[in-house]
Structure 1
Amino acid sequence: MKEKIKVLQTIHLAICGGVIIAYATIGKFSIETLKIETIDSSEIVYVLIPVMAFVLSNFLFKMQLKQVNPKQDLLEKLPVYQTASVIRWAILEGAAFALLFIKPDFMVLGILIIVYLLFLRPTEERITVDFERIV
């Protein structure tokens, strides 16, 4: 069981590491770039990117977990959890990259996505709790 969770943690680390490296190399960090000036109506779409990524990733994650038979043990549920997690992380990663490349002025929102992504690190306890919440 621990080996399978280690694989999932490695995938999570690779996704997080890739986004962090991209932000560190491409993003030009300074106090000025982390400030969001006034947002006009044409830029509201960029604020909605992280919100929509959060909502969509969690919705798809929960929909995937609902496909599991609750009577199965945790080891049998793990492949579905892995698929659901990768989908969730990919959506969040895509949103962070979209903000970095399309509108670097909103880089701070991408950083918030990365912080949330880091908090989604899979552990045996988190996996168990996620399955309990779905049932």
Structure 2
Amino acid sequence: MKEKFKTLQIIHLAICAGVIIVYLLLGRFSIDKLKIDAIDSSEIIYAAIPVLAFVLSNFLFKSQLKQIDPKAGLNDRLPVYQTASIIRWAILEGAAFMLLFLKPDFMILGILIIAYLVFLRPTEDRITSDFESSVL
């Protein structure tokens, strides 16, 4: 069982490391890049990307977890959890890349997405609490 948790943690680490490395290489960080000036109406969609990614990723994650049979054992539930987690992480990763490539002025929002992505690191406690909350 521990190796299945390790696999999920390695996948998470690879996704996080990939996004961070791309941001470091292509981000061209400076203090000016970390500021968001006044947002006009044509840029509002870029500000909405992190919110949409957060909502969509959590919605899809929870809907995948609701498909799990509560009576199934942990070995049967873990592959569905892994799939749901990868979907969630991929949406957040895509949103961070969209902000970096389409509108580098909003790089700080991409950094916030990355921070949230790192926060979602799978642990045994998080997985069991997610399973318990999906039954409710």
**Normalising by the residue count of structure 2, what TM-score does the alignment of the two structures yield?**
0.98
Shift of 1:134: 1.1
Q: Where in structure 1 do 4 or more consecutive aligned residues deviate above 2 Å?
A: none
Q: How does 1:1-135 map to 2 (within 5 A)?
A: 1-135=1-135
Unpaired runs of 5+ residues, structure 2, are none
- 1:68 counterpart SS class: coil
Unpaired runs of 5+ residues, structure 1, are none
- 2:68 counterpart SS class: coil
Question: Cα deviation per residue 1:56-100 (whole Å; 9 max; x = unaligned)?
Answer: 000000000000000112221000000000000000000000000
CA distance in 1, matches of 2:17, 2:89: 12
Question: Cα deviation per residue 1:98-126 (whole Å; 9 max; x = unaligned)?
Answer: 00000000000000000000000001110
One-letter code aligned to 1:23: Y
- 1:114 counterpart SS class: helix
**Normalising by the residue count of structure 1, what TM-score does the alignment of the two structures yield?**
0.99
- 2:72 counterpart SS class: coil
CA distance in 1, matches of 2:33, 2:75: 45
Query: RMSD in angstroms over aligned alpha carbons?
Result: 0.5
CA distance in 1, matches of 2:80, 2:72: 12
**Percentage of matched positions with identical amino acids:** 74
